[in-house]
A and B are shown apart, each in its own frame.
Chain A
Amino acid sequence: MEVTLTVNGREHTREIEPRLLLVHLLRDELGLTGTHWGCDTSNCGACVVWMDEVPVKSCTVLAAMAGGRRVRTVEGLERPSGLDPVQTSFMICHGLQCGFCTPAMLMTARWLLDHVPDPSDAEIRDAVSGLTCRCTGYENIVRSIRHAAATERGAS
């Protein structure tokens, strides 16, 4: 079947098998390997991308379901003016180690701050609770998101 979707503002049309997962379309067909494949069961969250402004786990979304939708991946986070504040804050606060969960954490953090500009630690933990990180013990992820929030509030 044919599917047309917009990824990071660019339209793509591909001939796909109906069973193709969105994560595999992004990684294998479009070469956007920042989105990772970690568990197959929606538990680890390494595959989180946005579909029409909402974070989804792309390992359990069929590529066909993304037809006509807008998908945003970590590769679409950086702006012409520079890195998104969540990207900068993860670097500053050592919010990543191996880097495998990082793209999904960043997409989730961006979504949170778009909706809750001044989140409490509990709100941050709740927001990333569908994602697994094996390296950081989450401490510096929480700090990173808090730091990004403070940076954005300071800038606005």
Chain B
Amino acid sequence: MTPPADDAAPGPVGPGPVGPGPVGPGPVGHGRMLRKEDARFVRGLGRFVDDIRLPGMLHGAVLRSPYAHARIVSVDVSAAESHPLVRAVITGELLAERGLAWMPTLSHDVAAVLATDKVRYQGQEVAFVVAENRYAARDALCLIDVEYEPLEPVIDARRALDGDAPLVRDELQRDNRVFDWESGDAAATEAAFAAAAHVSACDLLYPRVHPSPLETCGIVASVDRVSGRLTVHATTQAPHAHRALYSTIAGIPEHRIRIIAPDIGGGFGNKVGMYPGYLCAVVGSILTGAPVKWTEDRSENLMSTSFARDYHMRGEIASTSDGRILALRVRVLADHGAFNGTAQPSKFPAGFFHIFTGSYAVPAAHCHVTGVYTNKAPGGVAYACSFRVTEASYLVERLVDVLAHDLGRDPAALRMQNLLRPEDFPYRCATGWEYDSGDYPRTLALALEMAGYDELRREQAAVRAADTGSRMGIGISFFTEAVGAGPRATMDIAGFGMADAAELRIHPTGSAMLAVSCMSQGQGHETTFAQMVAEELGIPPDLVDVVQGDTDRTPFGLGTYGSRSTPVAGAATVVAARRVRERARTVAAAMLEVAPGDLEWEKGRFGVRGVPGVGATIAEIALAAHSDLELPEGVEGQLDATCVYNPPNLTFPCGAYVCVVDVDTGTGQVVVRRFVAVDDCGVRINPTIVEGQVHGGLADGIGMALMELIAFDRCGNHLGASFMDYLLPTAMECPSWELGETVTPSPHHPIGAKGIGECATVGSPAAVVNAVLDAIGVRHADMPLTPAQVWRALQGTPMRNDLAVL
């Protein structure tokens, strides 16, 4: 399909506001182009897991615990088994007989697949029914009789370590502590605080939220009774890691497992982990000999798979009297739920939280994180958080605003005073991260200029003076992200080093197939990765077919989360393409009967230096490489190449955000009037896709800052178990985003790109919160700043949001 010629002008490039113009026809390489995947989606021809229907397929449903904490006395499935459409009922006891009642988590713990001894959170999986249709499977759940003996639950994380607290994991240990972990220099930080002229402190809660991709989690598991081969269609962001996990857990040799991730309807971290429903579907298929589909409903999704955040933080910031930051100190209580199932590099129990010094030159810093078990769902790293950079960024950006509040300083000027300078890079922060590149003052200056910051402050003063019952607030955040894990030596998931791979095949007629180990959930890999190859080889992206999400057809790698596709699999792609190019050089030299060194690469062809017009295109070289052309000694035919990319460091994108809100002081209602976002993610492969990623993350910021919350009552009842209670932003809450960009390439990435997928989710919540609190003149109140919370904060009594009981 050819896009219309009108409206096709690409937006402006380079630093400055980003143009909103529709995209044009595809460039040969980087640039704005239509997404290749959209042709099927706009026709309703996407193929999501729940769209898959295999011959003889059965349907699974999960029986879940109504209690947050209860001992299981008995499970009687006889009535369910006698339902005429039921083909199998799986209990914890049945799984225990097969050694499958518990599975390893991604964080050195185990989690129940189906509960055997007791249930540890409301919504936990207790039994699994396989029936001939999805309605019958649900019906049969009602026929299972479970006798529970209710136990007192641990709901308030701050009480979890009390001596008289009930034990969540009494089968393992005598308290509810998961880990204690610290980073930074405690003594140096203590000394800096002792000597500082000013100290501000603040207690902050980053509440439990949920990534809530529009498509819930699901699987179709199919075990071939003859070959023993397991084929899994599943919503997975990490197909290869899942294959290894299925093999380890279920004891099926890895070569007999094929994981296929078809189209995925959003992930945001929700689809990294391994969930009980998946394993039950596999067991169900083994038991029945038929394919078994299991698709979560929304309540199941919100109650049981992958919450995010739940960090109780006490932050302290020390400064000189004129606002120069001297030290940061943080104490965190991390609510990990009933099993430590965080999906993150396993050597980092608090993820990358220790990047909490953010974007500032902070000489001393220390954090201490204590993880605790509670009677809540496991998870903890999800929702585009870049392994807890979200919590870290929110913490420091709130603390800087608190410092500005306490010192009577303008928050923009205070940030500008403390930001890292361009000459500081590469910068090693107080907790050891080495930031690769950035020009922070320029990025912030551009955001302030686009927002018209000084004029906004004048308007704010006028609104306040008019005293009309409406208040205007301006909030700023400046974030530094850390994305693109590994290196593999220091970062692993379940023992697998965080590298990714690409295999690039060049067909005889010059088109190509790229197979990558990462997996799109909407990020547009089919387009972006084709553009990367196109840029390196000078062939149109339409000639590059991108294969992903099928373990039989793609090389091993860790997958797509933590904004790591472009930094890692993207780098692998570029290196593989450059290897193709070098192979093409030797073949071209043979074709043209010149020395390889006499050839010059011009995008798409090798020309003979000094002989205009003599050369060969990639397509001509590809044909020759597959032909009977005699090649020099040692030169293999064909051009294919592979790369396993082990990143030397993370990439560190950054951004400056300015949010403008209006608050109705009578109702507490917040309206986000404007949102200016300047992002620096290095070189942009497809600017349109980058902007789309930013847009989505900005909406997340509004959601988390103003609406989204998973709270619990005293009994552990989940109070956000449907979209009626768990509120997501709609088009009505979101303003028209105003985007800008600066570009400081990553010095270590082959094309200077950095990850962008989670930047706006990381950076935006603080800007919104800072704006609301700026409007109402309150030093701190916790998210979400619902009308009730804002109104209460205005009365001087902010609520505690994570519990229904105050």
Contacts from A to B (Cβ < 8 Å): 17, 19-20, 24, 27-28, 31-41, 43-44, 46, 73-75, 77-78, 83, 87-88, 90-94, 96-103, 106, 121, 124-126, 128-143, 147, 151
Contacts and interface: CB of A to CB of B under 8 A. Distances in A.
Contacts of A19: 135
A98 B298 contact: no
A119 to B, nearest CB: 12
Given A134-B696, A139-B737, A38 B298 contact: yes
B266 A100 contact: yes
A98 B214 contact: yes
A98 B73 CA distance: 44
A152 B575 CA distance: 45
A17 B698 CA distance: 43
Nearest to B727: A43
Interface string B692-708: 11111111000000000
Contacts of B521: 98
A37 B269 CA distance: 20
A149 to B, nearest CB: 13
Contacts of A133: 214
Contact of A143 (B22, B46, B734): B22
B181 interface: no
Residue of B42, B51, B521 with highest tally of chain A CB at under 10 A? B42
A129 B43 contact: no
B470 to A, nearest CB: 19
Contacts of A31: 53
A37 B696 contact: no
Contact of B42 (A32, A73, A96): A96
Contact of A92 (B34, B41, B297, B298): B34
B264 to A, nearest CB: 7
Given A40-B297, A137-B695, A34 B43 contact: yes
- Among B44, B692, B693, max chain A CB count under 10 A is at B44
Given A39-B298, A74-B43, A97-B523, A91 B215 contact: no
- Residue from B34, B263, B266, B693 with most neighbouring chain A CB atoms (10 Å): B266
A83 B728 CA distance: 31
29 contacts: A20-B135, A24-B134, A32-B44, A34-B45, A34-B46, A35-B44, A36-B215, A36-B265, A38-B215, A39-B298, A44-B214, A74-B43, A88-B1, A90-B38, A94-B688, A97-B523, A99-B522, A100-B48, A100-B213, A102-B42, A121-B736, A131-B730, A132-B214, A133-B214, A134-B212, A136-B699, A137-B694, A137-B699, A137-B737
Find the residue from B3, B41, B135, B689 having the highest chain A CB count within 10 A. Answer: B41
Contacts of A78: 43
B736 to A, nearest CB: 6
A36 B297 contact: no
A27 to B, nearest CB: 7
Given A38-B215, A40-B299, A142-B731, 7 more contacts: A44-B214, A99-B38, A99-B46, A100-B46, A126-B732, A136-B699, A137-B697
B41 A102 contact: yes
B314 interface: no
B666 interface: no
Contact of A142 (B50, B298, B697, B736): B736
A14 B298 CA distance: 28
Nearest to B726: A43
Contacts of A99: 37-38, 40-41, 46, 263, 265, 522
A41 B725 CA distance: 10
B462 interface: no
Nearest to A46: B214
Given A27-B51, A125-B732, A142-B736, A33 B44 contact: yes
Judged by DSSP, the binding face of A is loop
Contact of B7 (A40, A46, A90, A147): A147
Contacts, number: 194
Contacts of B656: none
B265 A98 contact: yes
Contacts of B212: 134
A36 B7 CA distance: 31
A130 B298 CA distance: 17
B26 to A, nearest CB: 12
A40 B298 contact: yes
Contacts of B3: 91-92
B213 A96 contact: no
Contacts of B134: 24, 28
B44 A136 contact: no
Contacts of A38: 214-216, 298
A46 B41 CA distance: 13
A113 to B, nearest CB: 15
B96 interface: no
Nearest to B675: A137
B299 A94 contact: no
B35 interface: yes
Contacts of A93: 22-23
B84 interface: no
Contacts of B23: 92-94
A84 B522 CA distance: 22
A100 B218 CA distance: 14
Interface in B51-92: 51, 53
B39 interface: yes
B4 interface: yes
Nearest to B737: A139
Interface in B17-38: 20, 22-23, 34-35, 37-38
A91 B35 contact: yes
A133 B694 CA distance: 14
Nearest to B521: A98
Contacts of B128: none
B722 A41 contact: yes
